[in-house]
Chains A and B, each alone.
Chain A
């Protein structure tokens, strides 16, 4: 899975491209954690625009980063979920703790 990172103020934006499953999860997890530490950012946005497939491994990746970010008082948002991916997150009860935003701008404004 290809990851692109950008930074806006104290928010890290992770744009993911490809399929998020158990195989890709480990690498995704390590790369995001490295960037969080490297940039010393507060908030995190997961951009799912180019993620075509995700199984329950993705829930673990998002919740793990949520724990890390909220530990230091930061906020986490998710943007641009395709319907099949949204259903996996709904099943995992993810939207009880993390909000989905229409786009990156909306997420940044709400932080």
Chain B
């Protein structure tokens, strides 16, 4: 089975949200995705990286790591931060839930990731950080 992988690290600056989603989309493009599939991946990555910056590091400086792999026609994307962690992952995943209502956030981040990717796993430890693992299989290969 075909295998490929990549890893990037960048500081938790909001300017890097666009950088991160474009890099992952470029890596995924070797699977000949449709425009819709590619835009799903970009949106999901943007949500995960935004969460790491706003909630993981609460806008202080830290490092966001993205690991991507391709196995056959399946893309796996891991977005990792070493920030404060999520107290209640179940609650955080609820649509419309936001821990920071004062920021005018919609609370739809995890719902978007869940809807636009095939699978979503969230591993988090208080004080250690959060790892979001998403997969998506591409139809066109």
Interface string of A17-41 (1 = CB under 8 A from B): 0010111000001000000000000
CB <8 Å contact, A57 and B105: yes
A92 CA to B50 CA in the complex, in Å?
Answer: 17
Who on chain A is nearest to B42 by CB? A53
Q: What count of chain B residues pass the 8 Å CB interface test?
A: 25
Interface string of B106-119 (1 = CB under 8 A from A): 10110110011000
- Chain A residues with Cβ below 8 Å from B106 are 56-57, 59-60, 63, 92
Q: Is residue B135 contacting chain A, with contact meaning CB distance below 8 A?
A: no
- Minimum Cβ distance to chain B for residue A48 (Å): 14
CB <8 Å contact, A21 and B104: no
Most chain A C-beta atoms within 10 Å of own C-beta, residue among B40, B112, B115? B112
CB <8 Å contact, B112 and A22: no
Who on chain A is nearest to B16 by CB? A23
Residues of B within 8 A of A (CB): 14-15, 17-18, 21, 36, 39-40, 42-43, 46-47, 50, 53-54, 103-106, 108-109, 111-112, 115-116
Residues of A within 8 A of B (CB): 19, 21-23, 29, 53-57, 59-61, 63-64, 83-84, 87-88, 91-92
